[in-house]
Chain A
Amino acid sequence: MDSKNVKIHVSHLKKNFGKLEVLRDISNDITEGEVVVVIGPSGSGKSTFLRCLNRLEDITSGEVVVDGVNIADKKADINKVRENVGMVFQHFNLFNNMNVLRNLTLAPVDLGKMSKADAQKQAMKLLERVGLADKAQAFPSQLSGGQKQRVAIARALAMNPDIMLFDEPTSALDPEMVGEVLEVMKELAREGMTMVVVTHEMGFAREVADRVIFMDGGYILEEGTPEEVFGNPQNPRTKDFLNKVL
């Protein structure tokens, strides 16, 4: 692991919402090409942890170094860092006022990353990849949940990020649509994308994760390969949680 590039370095991360301590002391390194799945009960801080990785939540204290930039530092150019860190949300958050194609081209064109023509060409390729090329002109309201989430993944990929963050990407989906989204994510993992995934899909964690992190009460209580964490959990809270969800 030492020989590999550390993409995200987190040390002593703390996050409070007012008096509520959501993250108490989180330290972790995520290396290039690694797929890290974060599991844990509701309110354990796993989504907040993920959202600190691109500073969608202000960081109370500690360090979060993404591609060499400490984003806990208020002076860091957060927009520059975010260009390289894609994010997929539980509720998709597609831009409702734009069609699918515009959803994918908005940021790359607006930020001067590519010309409109190039962005559209790339967008069509990405839509093909997620199996939705025929929906390029559709508006988000005309898509199913699974389709929305696949578009959301394509939109994040349109910025050509090195890192992708997934915040419970299948939690708002009807059961029959979960598969199509996980399929796209597995494909991404196979291609070597660095991924941090917060999810309740234990099957996905087992199959795809290089490393599973179990969080509760604002701490990382256990981490290891899926075999270690699912097969032989050490912490009693992990055991308890896995007993309930498996």
Chain B
Amino acid sequence: MLRIIDVYGELLLKAMGQTLLLALCGLFFACILGLIFGLMSVVKNRPCNIIARIFVDAIRGVPMIVLAYFIYFGVPYLLNTIMKIGGVTLTALQAGTACLALNCGAYMAEIIRAGIESVDKGQMEAARSLGMPYWRSMYRVVLPQAIRTMIPSIINQFIITLKDTSILSVIGFPELVNTAKNVLANTFMSFQTWAIVAVMYLVIIQTLSVLAKHLERRLKHGL
């Protein structure tokens, strides 16, 4: 095991960096998508509700590995070969980010919807009765209370998304699992390699969990 760390340690650390980069890119856009579709599902507007519903159901109904293949291979094929637009290429990072953002975004939308719905509707009514516009009331009164109940689920979703980056090894993104496969191809030491990879994931996720707990505690008192 020491030999692997000695020879491939740097490579694996770099791969861990790539995993984190991919996860961060994915989560960033997932938060935006989640917020947009989450809010679209709570506003009093049928078309918005329906669009949000379709988005969430479609993404949740497709395995992420299929989504990854679809975005990385399917979309450029559609544009280049079928629609003859040509010259469209996606890097593995772009496709991976899109894939994570869509997948995690759908779940985030559900978390945000549930969080907002968990706030008593009297809170919105009270704010509106004072003459505050809908979005002002949402921003000042409802969302701050919703976020508190959403935090544990959001952290959970972040962790799932971080682990889901491993699925994107199938489109050749040089993250941990993909890199580990290359190491394995050279060394044939599967126990040691996968043990190291497992520990690396564990360390990242534990760090994230501790940070999250800390944040959760602080939000409980503050806000």
Residues of A within 8 A of B (CB): 54, 56, 79-87, 89, 91, 93-97, 106-107, 110-111, 152, 155-156, 159
| A85 partner residues in chain B, CB cutoff 8 A | 129
**Stretch in B8-16, B117-125, B154-162 touching the partner:** B117-125
* Given A89-B125, A97-B145, A97-B223, A82 contacting B130 (CB threshold 8 A): yes
Q: How far is the CB of B192 from chain A (nearest CB, A)?
A: 51
Q: Is B141 a contact partner of A83 (Cβ separation < 8 A)? A: no
Shortest CB-to-CB span from A191 to chain B, Å, is 20
The A-B contact count (CB < 8 A) is: 66
Q: Which residue on B lies nearest to A102, using beta carbons?
A: B140
A79: which of B120, B132, B140, B148 is its contact (CB, 8 Å)? B132
- Whole-angstrom distance between the alpha carbons of A156 and B131 in the complex? 10
User: Which chain B residues lie closer than 8 Å to A54 at the CB level?
Assistant: 129
Do A93 and B122 touch across chains, with their CB atoms under 8 A apart? yes
Q: How far is A156 from B140 in the complex, measured between Cα atoms in Å?
A: 17
- What does the 1/0 interface line of B141-155 toward A look like (CB < 8 Å)? 100110010000000
Cβ B130 vs Cβ A107 within 8 A: yes
C-alpha gap A91/B136 in the complex (Å): 22
Contact residues in A for B122 (Cβ distance below 8 Å): 89, 91, 93
Assess the B131–A56 pair: CB atoms within 8 A. no
Q: A91 to B148, alpha carbons, bound, how many Å? A: 21
Contact of A155 with B130 at beta-carbon distance under 8 Å, contacts A95-B141, A106-B140, A110-B136 already known: yes
Contact B223 A83 (CB under 8 A): no
Residues from chain A with Cβ under 8 Å of B123 in the complex: 93, 95-96
* Assembled-state Cα–Cα distance A111/B132 (Å): 7
Residue pair B133, A79 in contact (C-beta under 8 Å):
yes
What are 12 A-B pairs with beta-carbon distances under 8 A? A82-B128, A93-B122, A93-B126, A95-B123, A95-B141, A96-B145, A106-B127, A106-B130, A106-B132, A107-B131, A156-B129, A159-B130
Expressed in whole angstroms, the Cα–Cα distance for A191 and B141 within the complex equals 31
Question: Counting chain B CB atoms within 10 Å of each CB, which of A91, A110, A156 scores highest?
Answer: A110
Interface residues on B, range: 10 to 19
Q: Which residues of B contact A97 (CB under 8 A)?
A: 141, 144-145, 148, 223
In whole Å, how far is B17's beta carbon from the nearest beta carbon of chain A? 38
**Given A79-B132, A79-B133, A96-B145: A107 in contact with B125 (beta carbons within 8 A):** no
What residues of chain A lie closer than 8 Å to B133, measured between beta carbons? 79
Nearest chain B CB to A137 CB, angstrom units: 15
A86 contacts which chain B residues (CB < 8 A)?
Answer: 129-130
Looking at the assembled complex, report how far the CB atom of A152 sits from the nearest CB atom of chain B, in whole angstroms. Answer: 8
A110 to B127 CA separation, bound complex (whole angstroms)? 11
Most chain B CB within a 10 A radius of its CB, from A54, A85, A93, A156: A93
State whether A56 and B128 are in contact (beta carbons under 8 Å apart), knowing that A97-B223, A110-B136 are contacts in the complex: yes
B21 CB to nearest chain A CB (Å): 35
Q: Which of chain A's residues has its CB closest to B132's CB? A: A107
**Contact pattern, B 24-53, Cβ under 8 Å of A = 1, otherwise 0:** 000000000000000000000000000000
Bound Cα distance A107, B128 (Å): 10
Is there an interface contact between A89 and B126, defined as CB atoms closer than 8 Å?
yes
Which 8 A-B residue pairings sit nearest by Cβ, starting from the closest? A83-B131, A93-B126, A93-B122, A107-B130, A87-B129, A82-B131, A97-B144, A79-B131
Q: How far is the CB of A157 from chain B (nearest CB, A)?
A: 11
Enumerate chain B residues within 8 angstroms of A84, measured Cβ to Cβ.
Answer: 131
User: In the bound complex, do residue A110 and residue B126 qualify as a contact, i.e. CB atoms below 8 Å apart?
Assistant: no
Cα separation A79 to B145 with both chains bound (whole Å): 23
Given the complex, which residues of B lie within 8 Å of A94, measured CB to CB? 126
Q: How far is the CA of A87 from the CA of B126 in the complex (A)?
A: 8
* Complex CA distance for A26 and B132, rounded to whole angstroms: 28
CB distance from B15 to the nearest CB of A (A): 42
Contacts A89-B122, A93-B125, A97-B223 given; indicate if A83 touches B145 (C-beta within 8 A).
Answer: no
Question: Given A79-B131, A159-B130, A159-B131, are A56 and B125 neighbors across the interface (CB < 8 Å)?
Answer: yes
Query: Are A83 and B130 in contact, CB atoms less than 8 angstroms apart?
Result: yes
Residues of A within 8 A of B130 (CB): 82-83, 86, 106-107, 111, 155-156, 159
